[in-house]
Amino acid sequence: MRKRIFLIGVGGQGILLATRLIGEAALYAGFNVSMSEVHGMAQRGGVVESAVVFGNRHSPVLADGEADIVIAFEPLEALRALPKCNKESVIVMNNSPIPPFTVTSGISDYPSISDIEMIIKSKVKAFYSFNGLAVARDAGSDKALNVVMVGIAVGLGLLDIDEALFEKALASLLPDRLLATNIKALNAGIALGQNSVRS
């Protein structure tokens, strides 16, 4: 068994916490797990990417073509993650955009979400697009998008880790006052993932 998961999004979306959530759950499940992060410019509105690998894999760094699963927190960044994928990859994408400054300032145009979805769909084995932000908002906080996205991947059955371990991992990572909202977000994500497997 080997899972190589790549996470990508924009500074402030809680990508490192999402990565760690998967990592801690994998550790509880008894896997050999490692993660890599790139720190530095995250607070300055740039792209943030990280990776978590577990099972039969030593290197935590994912090169082009090496991601089994991509969790993209933002549509444009999902597109930017394509080189990390291969034909067998699965991409899970939050489809609510955060236009970069190059777009808001009128220098370039943000591609349409349906174009982005079409391009990605044509390349990889499976592609799921959700409005994760709406789910997070329903659960009580936009900031819980990161936990919703992990929940969706769990619900889709992509991670091979028992659901309950994610709740345990959340409790170890978050202060008590944020826990209820995030558990709600996790479960909403899981339910959404499970429903789309059935449909």
Check binding of 91 to other proteins (CB under 8 A): no
Distances (CA, A) of 184 to 31, 80, 121, 146, 179: 26, 30, 30, 12, 9
Q: Who contacts 164 (Cβ-Cβ below 8 Å, separation ≥6)? A: none
Rank residues 173 and 191 by Cβ distance to other proteins and give the closer one. Answer: 173
Distances (CA, A) of 170 to 7, 17, 28: 18, 9, 12
Please state the closest distance from residue 33 (CB atom) to other proteins, in A.
Answer: 6
Q: Who contacts 52 (Cβ-Cβ below 8 Å, separation ≥6)? A: 5, 7, 19, 22, 23, 26, 33, 34, 35, 60
Check binding of 58 to other proteins (CB under 8 A): yes
Rank residues 85 and 192 by Cβ distance to other proteins and give the closer one. Answer: 85
Check binding of 131 to other proteins (CB under 8 A): no
Check binding of 108 to other proteins (CB under 8 A): yes
Rank residues 105 and 199 by Cβ distance to other proteins and give the closer one. Answer: 105
Check binding of 34 to other proteins (CB under 8 A): yes
Rank residues 23 and 189 by Cβ distance to other proteins and give the closer one. Answer: 23
Q: Considering only the stretches 31-39, 128-136, 147-155, 180-188, report the one whose residues sit in contact with other proteins under the rule CB under 8 A.
A: 31-39
Check binding of 191 to other proteins (CB under 8 A): no
Beta bridge partners of 37: 50
Say how far apart CA 20 and CA 34 lie, in whole Å. Answer: 9
Say how far apart CA 172 and CA 27 lie, in whole Å. Answer: 12
Interface residue with other proteins among 17, 29, 86, 113 (CB under 8 A) is 86
Check binding of 104 to other proteins (CB under 8 A): yes
Check binding of 17 to other proteins (CB under 8 A): no
Q: Who contacts 57 (Cβ-Cβ below 8 Å, separation ≥6)? A: 2, 3, 4
Q: Read off the tokens for 158.
A: 């992509």
Please state the closest distance from residue 148 (CB atom) to other proteins, in A.
Answer: 20
Q: Which residues bind other proteins (CB under 8 A)?
A: 10-11, 20, 23-24, 27, 32-41, 43-47, 56-66, 76-77, 79-80, 82-83, 85-87, 99-111, 119, 123, 172
